[in-house]
Amino acid sequence: MPDPTPPAIRPGGIDDVATVLALMDCATEWLVSIGRADQWGTEPHSTNPKRIAQIEGFARSGGLWIAEAGGTAVGALSVGEALPYVAPADEPELYVQLLISDRSSPVRGVGAALLAHARRLAAQSGVGLLRLDCFAGGEGALVRYYERQGFTRAEAFSVAQPDREWPGQILTLRW
């Protein structure tokens, strides 16, 4: 049965890297199970040196946040500067670098709670723009999720992969 209690959100740190990678591994398994291996591939993130270094960087930057329910991590958020494959904004912004939730958790609304937290962080720092990017394939399901969270489509882009182009979408939220 779904749990309507919102998760607690706390700052993350280097000790949370393995937890974030485990959340990402579970998400990848789920994506593969629904036929969306083109989003994150099929290999575990926890064994990918580049991904490990990226999450460690998020943790060291001070922008990592962990959503917990009953002392168990049910999601993670990283905010900071835009990722290298995204053009910088022409105004101050806070960029959602990572948003992940545990699809097996009975806690619902984890992603929405983490995005609301990101917006609060941006507002507290005097920034009126929150941006993120996401996978634009899969019939646009993830893009539509972010639109339901109040984001608006900005530019589409692609990232060259060894065997294909990864379709992406930048979304913005202003207030």
| pLDDT score recorded for residue 162 | 86
| pLDDT score recorded for residue 92 | 97
In the chain, alpha helices (H): 17-33, 37-40, 49-61, 110-124, 141-148
Strand partners, 20: none
Residue 3 has pLDDT above 80, yes or no: no
Residue 21 has pLDDT above 70, yes or no: yes
| pLDDT score recorded for residue 156 | 96
The answer, as to whether pTM is greater than 0.85, is yes
Separation CA 37–CA 63 (nearest Å) = 28
* Tokens standing for residue 141: 């399901």
